[in-house]
Structure 1
Amino acid sequence: MPRQKFIAGNWKMYTTLEQARELARSVAAGVDAETARRLRVAVCPPFPWLLPVGEVLRNTPVALGAQDCHYEREGAFTGQVSPYMLREAGCQYVIIGHSERRHGLQESDEFLNKKLHGALRAGLHVIFCIGELLSEREAGQTESVLLRQLQNGLAGLTAEQAAALTIAYEPVWAIGTGRVATEEQAQQAHAFIRAQIAERFGSTAADSITIQYGGSVKPENAAGLLRQPDVDGCLVGGASLKADSFLAIVRAAL
């Protein structure tokens, strides 16, 4: 059975409250029942807009996700958000390990692994991001970087948990830069990731796991990327902030 495509929008630290509501309304209006039957669609707004956007998305095929979480259920962690709070707010998904947190906020593989386990305990579906810097790609280190991030980041998972995971391959040099990995580069990285999942968790998990591409995805390049056999969807940044461009990527996945 072919894997279902998954298109998720990461709104990052953008939108006003009214812009967020209107964007959610427009995205939901563009995802009909037939589209929802064939693929998954989610949006991940900033924390303050989760509840109002969740209200807009209620009873629609579009799922709600968050951009990060802490690993504990509760505690004295000022400024942090628990995965259980996200569940109560209506989230089905959470992004963990985005490069803007790995490199901008220096979050380690081990710290991200704790977040991953915390999110899974709370019953959230995790979009776990990995990817190499430009200097690492130019030094021929892409696969060794991905291997380290997978080994450390997914430590302690069962095969069943791995099978239900979404991995987002995001070459850091392509995020927000306008550059994009070629279709061949994306496929090569995705095939490597799937092979590592098979080696660590077995062929069933590797066949089931969703591997998205992220990094300057636009309507113009989405179709070519999504045609690759190991590219199961896209984690969309800037292009998810306009409903027409995001929905064009959704249509490309069909």
Structure 2
Amino acid sequence: MDHVAAEVEIVVTGPQHGVGLWMVGAFVLTFGGTRLVTRLIRAGRGPFRNVEVGGTHLHHQVYGILAMLVAGAFEFAYRPGTPGVQILAVLFGAGAALTLDEFALWLHLRDVYWAEEGRKSVDAVFLAVAVGLLLAAGFNPFSDIGPGATGRVLFAAGMLVSLALCVGAILKGKTALGVIGLLVPLVSAVACARLAKPTSPWARWRYAPGSRKAERALRRYPPDRRTRLDALKELVGGTPQH
């Protein structure tokens, strides 16, 4: 009986991957709907218009921040069960999508939604979806290795190595791979082992101008380099204004 109770407790207190899927699903649907509406507004089609309050354009990230605040406050205060936790997950996911869709605005502190800098919002959304799916699939970098001092030491050592690999990947100009590496250390390890981007801090520190590595990095990552992922981002986010 005690064994059964322990198993039930593990199921109840473990990561709620189903709730994570509700959150990621709401995130994706909200982002897709938001981009559709904003592109219709940009084209002057349909009934949608920018919202203004007292002559000030009210960006949709405002609604997103409020949604996340409400979802977080209710989750911490009440710890609801089904279906409340699913509702809060949907609210949080939708709010996160509205907020990250304007990530470039709060990064640059100006309206760059349709500018080249606005592409950072799409980058942030793609990265958030990847991390959300990994979390929903059960990847957990904070799960302890085992009980006792040895387990804690191994856990701390593993976390330090993983963090070092993530920082290394980011310094090499591979931010997305570095963040994903927090959940899947192999990803950041491969990014660390490969050539750095020529505009990255690592290249500026370690690749002397005119050196073999600097030339290889420039050939590998030319300024006009475009990938299939770039084409997908343009399809989703729209063509930026130049």
Fold equivalence (TM over 0.5): no
Asked which structure has the greater CA Rg, the reply is 2
Q: Which has the higher contact order (CA 8 A, sep 6+)?
A: 1
Query: Which is richer in strand?
Result: 1
Give the shorter-chain TM-score range.
under 0.3
TM-score normalised to structure 1 length: 0.23
Query: Which is richer in helix?
Result: 2
TM-score normalised to structure 2 length: 0.24
